[in-house]
Amino acid sequence: MERIGFVGLGLMGHGMAKNLVEKGYPLTVIAHRKREAVEDLVGRGASEAKSLEELAKASDVVVICVTGSPQVEEAVAGLKGRLASGALVIDASTADPTSTAKLHAELKATGVTLVDAPLARTPNEAWEGKLDTMVGCDPETFARVKPIVSTYASNVVHVGPFGAGHTLKLVNNFVAQGYGALYSEALAVAIKSGIAPKTFDAWMRGTRMMNGYYDTFMRSAIDGETEAFRFTARNALKDCLYLESLENGLAMSNPLSNAVKNMFAHAVSQGRGDEYVPVIAELVAKANGVTIEKA
């Protein structure tokens, strides 16, 4: 089996790496901020590298799962020139496609292939090995990548050439964050009109508008389950800004994505960026002079 290196053992990465090592792949990891994930993975059979150079030498394939393009660029800078020709770098982060194209060209010049394979779903599914991933690469590389990413993703889709994965991920997250913005305003309208949050929720759950995103969003916004939706408003804003850059490059009119972006920018400007996305429901309610009574 190919030797795997893993960079980025955060909420998603820890579970992904756990599945890689438990399903038999020789795994090398590197610490960043917290040691708990590294110690857990070493206990499961992984090895720890002290540097990116050491990790590169121990790996045929490196998976990167970090916050965004600046962090991906930093990781690639540490790996470039140290990975053997023929190696793969799988970027599972949500990144700017412009940066992806630049990194792809830089690595290609050293004989290394960059694959963009961003994720959908939550840390719970990462731990269970049931993530969704959209993969951008050529068909031959996809055949090599699929068994690896299938350890942590049950839905693996080849969406096109390199860059297509990160592009589709931004579109996916725009739809998701748009749901959050829409639910927040709708909930505020209901409350200000005298309809209790629980009544609003009970009605919506019985209609076609019910979906997995709605469930986790409202379990946090209305029921107070703060861990039900583990994705920060700051990260949502980052994704909105990447989408805006993509749309600007396409010379698009983008009124809806700008409205969604501004909702998350407001959350960050109010010092709430490190709270999870459903915080926007509280902020929209507050701006309209109402509060969400938690269950």
- The set of catalytic residues is 169
SS3 helix, strand, coil % of the chain, rounded to 5? Answer: 55, 15, 35
Residue 209 near residue 287 (C-beta atoms within 8 A): no
Burial category of 215 from C-beta neighbours within 10 Å (exposed 0-12, middle 13-18, buried 19 and up): middle
Where do we find the tokens 């194209």? 101
Residue 233: both structure tokens together: 């408003």
Sign of CA dihedral 195, 198, 204, 210: positive
Query: What is the rounded distance in angstroms from the CA atom of residue 19 to the CA atom of residue 162?
Result: 25
Q: What is the dihedral of CA 27, 28, 31, 32, to 10 degrees?
A: -90
Residue 24, amino acid: G
Q: Which pairing describes strands 88-91 and 113-116: parallel, antiparallel, or unpaired? A: parallel
If phi over 0 gives left and psi between -120 and 50 gives alpha, with beta otherwise, what is residue 51? Answer: beta
The helices-and-strands tally (H runs, E runs) of the chain is 13, 9
